[in-house]
Structure 1
Amino acid sequence: LSNKLETIGVSAFFGCTGFTGSLTLPSSVTTIGQSAFYSCRSFTKLELPNTLSVIPTQAFTHCRSLSGELVIPASVTEIGRLAFYDCQNLNAVTGQVTLPKSLKKIGDNVFLDTDNINTVNFLSLPEGISRNLGYKKKAVCLSDDSYISDLASGTVDEISYTRQMSSDWGTLVLPYSLTLTGSEPYHLYSIDNMTGEELVLKQLEGTVAAGTPCVVKRKGSEAELTFGSNIAKLNMERVAQDVGGMKFRGTYWTEDVNSGYVISKNSFWNVEELKNSTSVNGVKVNPFRAWLDGTSANAPAQLSMRIDGSTTGIDAIDALNDAEAEYYDLSGKRLVEPQRGVNIVRMKSGKTKKIIIK
C-alpha cells in the first residue's frame, strides 16, 4: 500500500479470500472503514500504524489465518464491535492482548471466537468495558495517565492502580472497593475531624467503598504502591465527606483547584497561599487523589495530621512522620511500623517518645 494512502474505505477489501502474506498499513493511514478487511481469510500477519485512532466495526472479522501477536497501537481510542471476531489464530503464544491507555470506547464481542486469547488487559477504563468481549477475562491496570470514562461500569476480574510515592503521605480515591487485610504496604485513613490547624485521622479497616476519599500513608519507603482488587464492581460515583465546613472530595481526572487544601510534603497546604507564591503556577490535583474543597474560617496556611488516639499529651506528629524513626514495643522488640497499643519511638534526632495507637 502506498505511503501516501490516508483512508481505506468501507468494505474496501471485503471477501478477498485470496489475499495472502502480510498486511502492513503505512503510517500515512489515519482511517479504516467499517468491514474494510472483512473475511480476508488468508493473510497471516497484521501491522497497524500509530496514526490510527479507530478500529471500526468488523474491520478484521473472519480473518482466520491471522496469527502472531496482535499489537494495538497507543494511538487507538476506539475499537468497534466484532472488530477481530473469528480471528482464531491470534496470540497463541501469550494468550493475551493489551489495549492502550488511550482507549476511550470498546464495542461488543470484539474478540469473540479468538480461541487463543483468554485475557484482555486494559490500561484504561473505557466506555463499554462492561460489554461481552467474547467471554474473556478482563484485567485492568491503571496509572495516572490512563484514560478514565465516567461511563465505565460493570465487573472486572482483576483491577489495580499503581502510584509513585515521593512522600510518606498522600491521598487516594478509587472507582472500586478495596478489602484491607492489614498486610498491605500502606495504611488508609479517613479525616475524622479538624481541630484548629490539625486534621485528626481515623484508620480504615475491612472494606473501603468505591469513591471514598482517603489519606494514604506508606508503611515503608517503597517508591511504588499498588492498590489491587479481584472480582471488582466499577462505580464511578465519588462520595464527598464533610470536614470542618469543607468537603474532602476525590477525582479520577486532573482538576484545577481554586480553594481549600491540597496535600504536599506530608501536610495539607492552603491553595490560596500556594497560588500567591511566585514559585507556583496554578494548583492542580492529579487523578485518583483527593483534596479539601472550600474555605476554612481561620484558613491557616498549613494543616498538620494526627492519627486519632496516637498522642498521650506529647505531640506525636513528628515521630509518625519521621521516615527514619525506629519503633519498639514495651519489651524492646523492634517493630517494622507503629502497632496498636503502646509504641516507643526513637527519632532521627535522638529523641525518644511514647505514643499510643488505638
Structure 2
Amino acid sequence: MPDPTDDRLGRLRAAMRTRGVDALLVGPSADLRYLVGYHALPLERLTLLVVPADGPAALVVPELEEPRAVDSGAAAHADLVTWSETEDPIARVVDRLQVAGIDLRGTFALQDRLWTSFTLALQAAIGGASWVPGSSVMRDLRLIKTPAEVEALREVGAAIDAVHAVVPDLLRAGRTEAEVGRDIADRILEDHDEVNFVIVASGPNGASPHHETGDRVLEVGDAVVVDIGGTRAGYCSDSTRDYAIGHLPDGYAELHAVLERAQDLAVDAVRPGAPAEAIDAAARDHITAAGYGERFVHRTGHGIGVEEHEEPWIVAGNDEPVAAGMAFSIEPGIYVPGRYGSRIEDIVVVTDTGVERVNHRPREVVVV
C-alpha cells in the first residue's frame, strides 16, 4: 500500500488544481498512509508530507525516524527530507515549499487532524497564506474505492469472518469479557497486521454500544455483543455478531428478528444514487415500527477503508447520494438498559448496479 498501479498523488494533484490549492500538508494519519504508505508515529517531533500541486512531494521526517520511513517505501512516492534535533522542522517545510516555487501567500490545504501546536506554527511561518481543510482535496480520493481497494476490503472482510467463526469456542460461563477479548485479539492477529478494537459486551454491558471490554464474568443466560476489527495490508475490517450463553434471555429472539430484518432492509436500499439518509431510514423505520425506535441510538453506518471510521456517514440528515465504489457498514442496533443489547454489522460496497456484502457470517444469534 499504496497500490503501485494507482497514481494517488497524481489524482490528488488534479483535485488540488481544480480547487485552487497550491500545496497540501499532511502529518501522521490515515491520509499519510494512503498517499505514501508510511505509518508514521504521532510524535512531538514533526513529520509532514508536503505535496505541491505541481512538482515532487517531500516527506519531512525527524532524522531518527528516517529508517522507518525508508522501510515503509515512502521514498518511492516522495523525497525524504530529514531534520536533526537542533534544527527547526517548520523551517525545513518552508524551505521545501520555496524550492518548489510555491507562493507563500497562496492557498494551503492542511490535514484535518494535525496537532494544534504544529498547525499554529505553520500558520505563523506562512503568515500570508489562505488555509483550507485537507479533506477538501482528500475526501473524494478516499471516498470512492478503486477495484484494488475493494478487493482488499473483501480479503480483510473474510479474515474477520474467520475470527467470528471461532468466537463460539471462546465464550463460556465463568470466563471474563477480558479473557475472551484477549483470545479474540490473538486470533485477529493470525490474519491481520494489527488489532483495531475488540468489544465483548455481555449481559447488561451489551446496552452500551462502545462498551470497554472488562472484568465482568459471563453467566448462563447472557446475550453477548462481539464487535471486532483489525487492519490487514492497510485496510480495515469491522463486523459485529451476537451470541448467548446457554440460552437466549427473555425477549431477545423477538428483538433480534427485528434487527435482522432492519439490516436486510437497509442493505436492500443501497444502490447508486440512493441518499445516505434513506439507507438509515430503511433500518430505523422498521425498528421504530416494532417499538424499539428510542433504543436505536446511533447512525446506521460509517465508511471504512484505511480507517475503520471514515466517510460516508449513513445517518439522518446526510442527503448525499451514495456512489459505486463507496464502502460502509450497515449496523443497526437495539439497546435495552440494564438487560442486554444487540447489533448486527456487515461491510457493504456500492456496485454499479446495487450492493455487495463483504461479510458473510450467519447473522442469527449463536447460542453456546
| TM bracket, shorter-chain basis | under 0.3
Structure with the largest fraction of helix? 2
The higher-RCO structure (CA 8 Å, 6+ apart) is: 2
TM-score of the superposition, structure 2-length normalised?
0.23
Structure with the largest fraction of strand? 1
